[in-house]
């Protein structure tokens, strides 16, 4: 069955393997970012809500996986598996990291589902990144920063969402465009459609 004739929700072996590889690579990236995050805390010491400016990297797996594979569940799968891999590498937040992966991937997934898994341009990518950032913000404010002043919580939320929209959303879309130009995404609709642009 060709890619165009295949039902939107049906995953191929290449989809599963690619999503898994993206997730594992990002799981390692996440762990590196976890360590960098701890090292950057003194930089934001005077105004901790600005930590949100560097948040977007943690949300890129879900958006990138979805933009490449273009299957329902891809954002949820890649973000969650990346979180699991991060935990296996020793993420300092333990199993709560997996809850974050589920919520962030699920938020991105909802945006893509709203477009019936047919809209894959920069706007859906940015919105998916922003939605993942909103999910992360809500979890962080509940788990780590409930005592912050409302103004700090708002600044933190805005910076996380902006970082997520730019890095995870627009950044992932730009990565897919660049990869498509090389031909490595030829087995995917994402590779063929981007090469026509």
The string of pLDDT tens digits covering residues 32-48 is: 998 888 888 888 888 99
pTM score, whole prediction: 0.89
Q: Are 61 and 85 in contact (CB under 8 A)?
A: no
**Residue 187 belongs to some domain of the structure:** yes
Residue 189 has pLDDT above 50, yes or no: yes
**Residue 9 contacts by C-beta under 8 Å, 6 or more apart in sequence?**
71, 72, 117
Count of the separate structural domains present in the chain = 1
Burial group, residue 102, by CB count within 10 angstroms (0-12, 13-18, 19+): middle
**pLDDT (0 to 100) of residue 128:** 98
Q: What is the pLDDT at residue 7?
A: 52
Distance CA 92, CA 10 (A): 36
pLDDT reported for residue 195: 47
Q: Is residue 8 part of a domain?
A: no
For residue 3, being part of any structural domain is answered with no
Question: What's the pLDDT at 193?
Answer: 66
Check residue 36 and give its pLDDT: 87
Domain range enclosing 73: 13-196
Average pLDDT over residues 168-185: 93
Q: Is residue 125 part of a domain?
A: yes
Residue 194 — pLDDT band, cuts 50, 70, 90?
Answer: low
Asked if the model's pLDDT at residue 24 lies above 60, the reply is yes
Q: Is residue 7 part of a domain?
A: no
């Amino acid at each position: 069955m060709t890619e165009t004739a295949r039902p939107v929700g049906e995953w191929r072996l290449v989809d599963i393997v690619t999503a898994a590889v993206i997730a594992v690579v990002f799981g390692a990236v996440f762990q590196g970012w976890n360590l960098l995050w701890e090292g950057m805390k003194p930089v934001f010491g005077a105004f901790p809500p600005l930590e949100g400016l560097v948040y977007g990297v943690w949300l890129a797996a879900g958006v990138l996986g979805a933009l490449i594979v273009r299957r329902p569940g891809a954002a949820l799968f890649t973000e969650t598996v990346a979180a699991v891999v991060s935990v296996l590498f020793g993420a300092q937040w333990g199993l709560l990291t997996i809850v974050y992966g589920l919520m962030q991937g699920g938020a991105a997934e909802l945006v893509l589902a709203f477009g019936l898994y047919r809209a894959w341009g920069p706007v859906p990518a940015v919105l998916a990144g922003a939605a993942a950032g909103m999910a992360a913000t809500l979890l962080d404010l509940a788990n780590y920063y409930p005592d912050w002043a409302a103004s700090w919580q708002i600044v933190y939320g805005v910076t996380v969402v902006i970082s997520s929209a730019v890095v995870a959303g627009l950044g992932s879309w730009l990565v897919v465009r660049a990869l498509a130009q090389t031909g490595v995404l030829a087995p995917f609709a994402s590779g063929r459609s981007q090469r026509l642009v």
